[in-house]
């Protein structure tokens, strides 16, 4: 990774880390199987477990990779969360939601909670978070330093700019 970063610098390119979450978690399960809530429901997708350990793992990864990138940003993905059924059917997740005072069964509120918590971890390292536009579109609470990476139509860019 250090070679990639140095090569990028030589061409005027800044390398940005991306830890895609809460979706795209099958790859996370290869190294951290306990971080994933998975289920066998048709059409469902595994998601990172929002109940705790993922925040410590992200903190550790950011500490480990802090010297390997110089962009000042960390991309947290947030895209392509097509189903939150695995969270919804998890007793562990439901108990966590109750403990945190999140509305029962409101997976959008849980997603917002999760994405805000990962922003706080990134901020702790003096970095700014970047998300794909879907995070903005679902109305997640964003820190003022958070950047939205828009890939869609011009309306999303205008909406993000208007929101500050």
Exposed e or buried b per residue across 62-87, where buried means at least 16 C-beta atoms within 10 angstroms of its C-beta: beebeeebebebbbbbbbebebbbbb
Hey, is 118 helix, strand or coil?
Answer: helix
Q: What is the 8-class DSSP label of residue 103?
A: P
Give the residue among 91, 77, 87, 92 at the shortest CA–CA distance from 107: 87
Of 6, 18, 64, 80, catalytic = 80
CA–CA separation, 136 and 53 (whole Å): 25
Instruction: Please confirm, yes or no, whether 100 is among the known catalytic residues.
Output: no
Cα–chain-centroid distance for residue 52? 14
**Catalytic site positions:** 80
């Amino acid at each position: 990774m250090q070679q990639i970063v140095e090569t990028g610098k030589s061409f005027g390119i800044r390398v940005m880390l991306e830890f895609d979450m809460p979706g795209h978690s099958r790859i996370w399960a290869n190294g951290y199987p306990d971080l994933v809530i998975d289920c066998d429901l048709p059409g469902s997708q595994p998601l990172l477990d929002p109940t705790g350990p993922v925040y410590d793992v992200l903190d550790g990864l950011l500490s480990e990779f802090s010297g390997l990138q110089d962009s000042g940003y960390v991309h947290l993905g947030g895209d392509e969360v097509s189903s939150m059924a695995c969270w919804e059917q998890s007793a562990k997740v439901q108990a966590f939601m109750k403990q945190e005072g999140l509305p029962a069964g409101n997976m959008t509120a849980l997603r917002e909670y999760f994405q805000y918590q990962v922003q706080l971890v990134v901020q702790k390292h003096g970095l700014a978070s970047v998300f794909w536009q879907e995070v903005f579109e679902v109305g997640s609470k964003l820190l003022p330093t958070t950047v939205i990476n828009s890939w869609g139509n011009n309306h999303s860019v205008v909406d993000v700019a208007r929101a500050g």
